[in-house]
């Protein structure tokens, strides 16, 4: 019996214009015009050519099409193929000002350059810009590879009014898209598991967790689920994690105090601004770790460095892999690359024995 092998879709023969011309009974020039839907070719002929191309399994290559567009316009093709870094719902000022966003863009650009690509920045939030216009701008500039930035606004689902069939795209982050695209993001579930394991090694077995509601939604409730699955006392875990809709809720401190934690896990340090919480933590000498640690995190607080620069670089890898494989459009099975990040221990001085009661 012959061993079963999975056919490689990239090994199939390339369909040529000559084959399409023979099947449709027209010239190669007519095929070229018809595939571009040029008005010089009668509609009936265009439809016959398109039907013949589809029957033969022809797949257009937007990279070649963009190069030919440069040639037809009498322009020299660009020196290096370009990838667009599209800032989604982010202003130019914010993309320059925010250290996290600067780090993400810098890492994506560095990775693209390592692979021989140039990077162009574009902003959906530019004055007068629309989604459709931006898509047309990219196509006119011969850009088909697109990295979509992390989103700093509160949406949990995003979309752009684009003809996705013209692009090879990947998203930095875990926000859902319609249609769904390839993603490189943080593995929230394993991130929370890492925190609980590391706290356990430090003798902290009764933590409580505060998770901001929008972050919880974007992570597909993964932080919450991991806390329930890996907490030391699973029977009480549901009572020791709270999803916070309003960080200024005066009841947060009382909720924490009632549970007498030996450590506090927060999805972001802004939650520590809840009324009375900081003084409670000092009084109880309760250490704090954050699920989103950065160099701006206050001293003494440890947590998970999500390594967003590495994530951004892997989003570029996803785009380049599609370009090399001639894969464009909405994927039928989106690839999701998730990374748990690394543990940043809190300063030992913050892990004094908490007071009883």
* Average pLDDT value for the chain: 87
pLDDT digits (tens, 9 = 90+) for 122-159: 999 999 999 999 999 999 998 999 999 999 888 879 99
CA 311 vs. chain centroid, Å, equals 8
Give the residue ranges of DSSP H helices in the chain: 17-24, 28-35, 43-56, 62-72, 92-97, 99-114, 131-140, 188-201, 213-218, 222-230, 251-259, 277-284, 308-324
Residue, of 31 and 201, whose pLDDT is higher: 201
As its CATH architecture, domain 82-186+309-341 has 3-Layer(aba) Sandwich (3.40)
CA-closest candidate to residue 162, choices 322, 332, 330: 330
Model confidence pLDDT, tens digit, residues 226-235: 999 999 999 9
Angstrom distance (rounded) from CA 23 to CA 36: 18
Q: What angle do CA 10, 56, 2 make, to 5 degrees?
A: 50
CATH of domain 9-59: 1.10.260.40
Tell me the three-class secondary structure of 166-223, residue by residue. Answer: HCEEEEECCCEECCCCEEEEECHHHHHHHHHHHHHHCCCCCEEEEEEHHHHHHCCCHH
As a whole number, mean pLDDT of residues 275-287 equals 93
Q: Categorize the per-residue pLDDT at 36 as very low, low, confident or very high, splitting at 50, 70 and 90.
A: low
Residue 207 near residue 199, CB atoms below 8 Å: yes
Answer whether 9-59 and 188-305+343-351 agree in fold: no
Q: List the chain domain ranges.
A: 9-59, 82-186+309-341, 188-305+343-351
Rounded Cα gap, residues 267 and 195, in angstroms: 11
Strand partners, 169: 146
Q: For residue 310, with 0-12 CB atoms within 10 Å meaning exposed, 13-18 middle and 19 or more buried, which class applies?
A: middle
CATH class of the domain comprising 188-305+343-351: alpha beta
pLDDT for residue 79: 53
| pLDDT, tens digit (0-9, with 9 covering 90-100), for 208-221 | 999 999 999 989 99
């Amino acid at each position: 019996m012959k061993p079963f092998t999975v056919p490689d879709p990239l090994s199939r023969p390339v369909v040529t214009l000559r084959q399409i011309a023979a099947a449709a009974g027209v010239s190669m020039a007519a095929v070229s015009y018809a595939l571009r839907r040029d008005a010089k070719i009668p509609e009936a002929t265009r439809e016959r050519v398109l039907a013949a191309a589809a029957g033969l399994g022809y797949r257009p290559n937007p990279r070649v099409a963009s190069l030919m567009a440069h040639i037809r316009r009498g322009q020299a093709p660009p020196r290096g193929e370009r990838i667009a870094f599209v800032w989604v719902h982010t202003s130019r000022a914010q993309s320059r000002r925010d250290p996290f966003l600067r780090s993400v863009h810098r890492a994506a650009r560095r990775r693209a350059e390592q692979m021989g690509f140039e990077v162009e920045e574009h902003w959906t939030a530019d004055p007068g810009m629309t989604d459709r216009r931006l898509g047309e701008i990219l196509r006119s500039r011969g850009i088909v590879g697109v990295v979509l930035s992390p989103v700093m606004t509160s949406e949990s689902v995003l979309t752009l009014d684009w003809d996705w069939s013209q692009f090879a795209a990947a998203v930095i982050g875990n926000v859902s898209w319609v249609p769904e695209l390839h993603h490189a993001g943080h593995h929230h579930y394993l991130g929370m598991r890492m925190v609980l394991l590391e706290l356990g090694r430090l003798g902290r077995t009764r933590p409580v967790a505060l998770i901001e509601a929008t972050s919880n939604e974007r992570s597909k409730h993964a932080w919450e689920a991991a806390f329930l699955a890996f907490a030391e006392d699973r029977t009480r875990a549901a009572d020791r994690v709270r999803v916070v809709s309003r960080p200024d809720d005066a009841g947060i401190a009382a909720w924490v105090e009632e549970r007498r934690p030996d450590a506090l896990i927060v999805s972001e340090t802004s939650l520590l601004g809840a009324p009375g919480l900081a003084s409670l933590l000092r009084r109880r000498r309760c250490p704090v770790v954050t699920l989103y640690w950065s160099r701006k995190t206050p001293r003494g607080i440890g947590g998970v460095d999500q390594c967003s620069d590495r994530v951004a670089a892997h989003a570029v890898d996803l785009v380049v892999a599609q370009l090399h494989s001639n894969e464009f459009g909405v994927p039928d099975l989106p690839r999701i690359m998730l990374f748990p990040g690394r543990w940043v221990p809190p300063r030992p001085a913050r892990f004094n024995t908490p007071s009883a009661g």
